Amino acid sequence: MEALEIAIAPSGFASESDQLVDLSGSEFDDQSLVALFHRIANKERVTHLRLVQCEHLSGSFLAQLAPLFPALMSLDIRKNTQLQERYFSHLSHITNLEELKLSGCTQITDHALIHLASLSGLKHLDLVNCANITDFGIAQLINLTRLEQLFLGGCSNLGNDALSIIGTFTQLRDLRLVKCTKINGQGIAHLGQLKNLMAFNLGFCSNLDNVALHTLGTLPNLKELRLQGCISLTDQGVSHVQERHR
């Protein structure tokens, strides 16, 4: 069987050497997807793999990613609601992984995050709308100290204990907690050491009060702060943050 020259193209990311395979929206099941992987020429060059909304995938294909794509740095498997968490353990073998996108995988729970605990090289983690995740799940990520971008919008079961863990990720530049309605000012106080944080989205966190804004005012590199729908904040509190960042 001949190798395929399929869908390997510049990824559009930072490095010219980055190469992308994008099979998003395909109808492959796990077995046929792996068969296709084997036929891709120059697999060792692939750094980014995108499989968004492939509704027939259960996740067994994850076992083949490390041996077939040794240079893989980015895995985008958003909106795959049939993925089974028991296969997430295979992710730990992708030693170069820096970016993992799981938003819209609404079925995943804290158990999936246990399998992510060893991915110490991750810089970008997207768990948007994974609403079954709790503070316990975030606690499993404590060793992911190289994270620079963490997206948790719509993870509505997260509370202040999760923020105590997030506050140790001192390399964070972009943090998104949209609609995390259980967090409040006491939780935000845990984030005072995020001195590299440049963008913070707290939209529709309805329990935030002015206490939270005092902590945000101490973050020296904060350039973008989104507070839309935070109905418990006052104009005086917002003005305090604006004064600190002028």
Give, in degrees to the nearest 5, the angle at Cα 102 between 54 and 117. 130
State which H helix or E strand residue 74 sits in. Answer: strand 74-76
- Cβ neighbours around 131 below 10 Å, total: 16
Per residue in 139-193, pLDDT (tens digit) is: 999 999 999 999 999 999 999 999 999 999 999 999 999 999 999 999 999 999 9
Name residue, tokens 């980015």: 74
Bridge partner residues of 38 (DSSP): none
Residue 173's identity, in one-letter code, is R
DSSP string, 157-169: T--HHHHHHHTT-
Q: Which range (3-17, 51-65, 100-114) has the least confidence?
A: 3-17
Alpha helices (runs of H) in the chain, residue ranges in sequence order: 30-39, 65-68, 110-114, 135-139, 160-166, 185-188, 210-216, 235-244
Q: Has residue 3 got a pLDDT over 80?
A: no
As a whole number of angstroms, the distance between CA 98 and CA 74 comes to: 6
DSSP codes joined into one string, 141-156: TTT-TT--EEE-TT-T
Q: How far apart are CA 16 and CA 171, in angstroms?
A: 25
Handedness of CA 161, 162, 165, 166 (dihedral sign): negative
* 236 confidence band (pLDDT: 50, 70, 90): confident
Q: Assign 60 to helix, strand or coil.
A: helix
- Confidence category of residue 50, pLDDT binned at 50, 70, 90: very high
User: What DSSP state is assigned to residue 188?
Assistant: H
> 87-102, pLDDT tens digit by residue?
999 999 999 999 999 9
**Could you give the CA distance from residue 44 to residue 157 in angstroms, rounded to a whole number?**
39
Residue 44 CB neighbours (<10 A)? 11
49 near 24, Cβ under 8 Å? no
**HSE, side-chain direction, 13 A CA sphere, residue 159:** 5
Give pLDDT tens digits for 142-153. Answer: 999 999 999 999
Whole-model pTM over 0.75: yes
Task: Output the pLDDT for position 245.
Answer: 63
The pLDDT of residue 37 is above 70 = yes
Q: What is the mean pLDDT of residues 204-220?
A: 93
